């Protein structure tokens, strides 16, 4: 099993570029099912999740060619299957987002139930409830969802996760992709507003879809008869950007970050500014200033966009552990997001979890230890802590980190980090 060995304390300086957004490219790749022809996708990140999506598209009969490091050609000459197998859906839950385009284009789909994942039970009930409202027959048996969309029509649907009172990102995307070719009008109430949804919507519009209200909580889609293949550039990854912002802060501010859209991270940036962090952006290069000894401790509650993103909560726990005074993190979106805490505690953090709230003692010093990544963001948070820890940290299960961060080892090395990937 591969692992990262990181010797902490190296001075980091230089530039690091943010790559294309994982959570935008995955649904956009799914959407290439919706039209025959040749698609060109630019700014595609080199991630294992993208490779999993390539496998899924190829399984369904599409051809995928990598033209260069971040450009893919996807050729759709018609599908040969409408089944998303267990191996691919269980490897990556985002594979379930293939369901909407399959129903939209082929009027049927057989997709493995995603099952559990490192972040806790992640149900798809809202996806299925919305499809049923659109006239789709849904049957679940032997671990698969069978969907018959022969009577698919536009409808008014709601994608709010009732128990959490938040919209589902994945369900919003799935419904959008089912609706673009459905007859009539679809209204998505309580739609998710995340920038990746806007990126998917813009891609669909470029294909010829009629969509209004992107980025608001009411998306209106008028079904069209046919869509066309197109060329599209994926938005920069705002979670990767936020991760590097925290990296720059905890390592003294000499790392500058390229390709950041600060407007995609309002909740995160506002929180850091409230703590005393200052940002300056010159010609696509972001500088982050804030002395760890002077930043204010704080309380954070994760929320849907434009609030504080759950995908930056674990990295933030590393920062808050360094700042004087106690801080508090309330995780409202994913039940298992604190699996990172025992690992960070092994490295010297003092975090106590009470159900959904983590109480963080500040001003600790991280010390190198053997630790294990439990999901993508938990994994990269261990990397952050390791970069400033005394001594050496060994991070296991790094396949999680490689799902979301392209070529992290060589890019951190270029900044001066003492990091190796060993098999
Ligand atoms: C997406 C992102 C993920 C991010 C999350 C929240 C991708 C590939 N992943 O995940 O990185 O952390 O949004 O911003 O884009 N839920 C239900 N029933 C449903 C759907 C969701 O109970 O039918 C629950 C989930 O278990 C979770 C919460 O609602 O607790 C939010 O899920 P959702 O917004 O759907 O997130 P994803 O689309 O899975």
Which CATH number is correct for 3-19+236-422, 3.40.50.9100, 3.40.50.1970, 3.30.70.520, 3.65.10.10?
3.65.10.10
Give yes or no for residue 334 CB within 6 A of ligand 1.
yes
Residue nearest to atom 12 of ligand 1 (CA): 311
pLDDT over 90, % of the chain: 94
Encoded tokens for 1: 């099993």
What is the rounded distance in angstroms from the CA atom of residue 121 to the CA atom of residue 45?
27
pLDDT per residue as tens digits for the range 94-139: 999 999 999 999 999 999 988 655 555 568 999 999 999 999 999 9
What is the rounded distance in angstroms from the CA atom of residue 65 to the CA atom of residue 359?
48
Active-site position among 5, 13, 79, 117: 117
Give yes or no for residue 307 CB within 6 A of ligand 1.
no
Q: Which ligand 1 atom is at minimum distance from the Cα of 168?
A: 34
CATH 3.65.10.10-classified regions of the chain:
3-19+236-422, 22-233
Q: Which ligand 1 atom is at minimum distance from the Cα of 335?
A: 30
What pLDDT is stored for residue 115 in this prediction?
63
Give yes or no for residue 26 CB within 6 A of ligand 1.
yes
206 is in an annotated binding site: no
Span between the terminal Cα atoms of the chain, in Å? 6
pLDDT per residue as tens digits for the range 26-56: 999 999 999 999 999 999 999 999 999 999 9
163 is in an annotated binding site: no
The alpha carbon of 193 and the centre of ligand 1 are apart by a number of angstroms equal to 13
What pLDDT is stored for residue 122 in this prediction?
62
* Catalytic annotation present for 230: no
Residue nearest to atom 1 of ligand 1 (CA): 169
pLDDT per residue as tens digits for the range 49-87: 999 999 999 999 999 999 999 999 999 999 999 999 999
Preceding omega of 306 cis (within 30 degrees of 0):
yes
346 is in an annotated binding site: no
What pLDDT is stored for residue 114 in this prediction?
84
Give yes or no for residue 129 CB within 6 A of ligand 1.
no
23 is in an annotated binding site: yes
Q: Which ligand 1 atom is at minimum distance from the Cα of 170?
A: 38
The alpha carbon of 391 and the centre of ligand 1 are apart by a number of angstroms equal to 37
Q: Which ligand 1 atom is at minimum distance from the Cα of 169?
A: 34
What pLDDT is stored for residue 123 in this prediction?
85
Cβ atoms of 166 and 139 closer than 8 Å: no
Is the pLDDT confidence value at 332 over 80?
yes
- Class at the top of the CATH hierarchy for domain 22-233: alpha beta
What pLDDT is stored for residue 117 in this prediction?
55
Burial class (CB in 10 A: 0-12, 13-18, 19+), 150: exposed
pLDDT per residue as tens digits for the range 220-277: 999 999 999 999 999 999 999 999 999 999 999 999 999 999 999 999 999 999 999 9
CA distances from 414 to 16, 155, 207 (A): 9, 52, 39
Radius of gyration of the chain (CA): 21
Of 21, 122, 309, 312, the residue with max ligand 1 atoms within 8 A of its CB, to mutate for a pocket test, comes to: 122
Give yes or no for residue 173 CB within 6 A of ligand 1.
no
311 is in an annotated binding site: yes
């Amino acid at each position: 099993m591969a692992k990262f060995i990181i010797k902490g304390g190296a001075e980091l300086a230089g530039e690091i570029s943010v790559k294309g957004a994982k959570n935008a490219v995955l649904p956009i790749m799914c959407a290439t099912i919706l039209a025959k022809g040749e698609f060109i996708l630019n700014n595609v990140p080199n991630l294992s999740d993208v490779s999993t999506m390539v496998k899924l598209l190829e399984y369904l009969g599409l051809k995928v060619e990598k033209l260069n490091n971040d450009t893919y050609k996807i050729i759709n000459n018609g599908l040969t299957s409408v089944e998303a197998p267990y191996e691919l859906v269980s490897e990556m839950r985002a594979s379930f987002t293939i369901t909407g385009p399959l129903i939209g284009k082929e009027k049927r789909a057989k997709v493995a139930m995603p099952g559990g994942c490192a972040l806790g039970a992640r149900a798809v009930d809202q996806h299925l409830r919305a499809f049923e409202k659109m006239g789709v027959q849904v049957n679940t048996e032997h671990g698969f969802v069978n969907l018959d969309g022969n009577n698919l029509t536009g409808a008014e649907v709601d994608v709010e996760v009732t128990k959490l009172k938040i919209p589902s990102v994945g369900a919003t995307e799935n419904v959008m992709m089912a609706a673009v070719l459905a007859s009539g009008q679809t209204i998505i109430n309580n739609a998710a507003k995340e920038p990746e949804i806007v990126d998917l919507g813009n891609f669909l519009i470029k294909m010829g879809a009629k969509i209004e209200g992107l980025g608001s909580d009411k998306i209106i889609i008028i079904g069209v008869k046919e869509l066309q293949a197109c060329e599209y550039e994926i938005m920069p990854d705002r979670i990767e950007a936020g991760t590097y912002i925290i990296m720059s802060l905890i390592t003294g501010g000499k790392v500058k970050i390229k390709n950041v859209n600060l407007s995609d991270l309002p909740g995160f940036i506002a929180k850091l500014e409230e703590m005393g962090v200052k940002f300056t952006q010159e010609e696509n290069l972001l500088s982050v200033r804030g002395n760890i000894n002077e930043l204010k401790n704080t309380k954070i509650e994760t929320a849907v966009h434009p609030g504080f993103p759950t995908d930056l909560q674990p990295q933030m726990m590393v920062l808050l552990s360094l700042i004087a005074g106690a801080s508090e993190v309330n995780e409202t979106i994913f039940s298992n997001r604190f699996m990172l805490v025992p690992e960070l505690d092994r490295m010297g953090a003092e975090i106590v979890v009470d159900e959904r709230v983590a109480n963080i003692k500040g001003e600790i010093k991280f010390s190198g230890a053997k630790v294990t990544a439990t999901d993508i963001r938990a994994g990269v948070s261990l990397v952050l802590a390791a970069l400033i820890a005394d001594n050496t940290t060994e991070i296991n299960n790094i396949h999680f980190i490689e799902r979301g961060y392209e070529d992290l080892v060589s890019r951190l090395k270029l900044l001066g980090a003492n990091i190796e990937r060993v098999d």
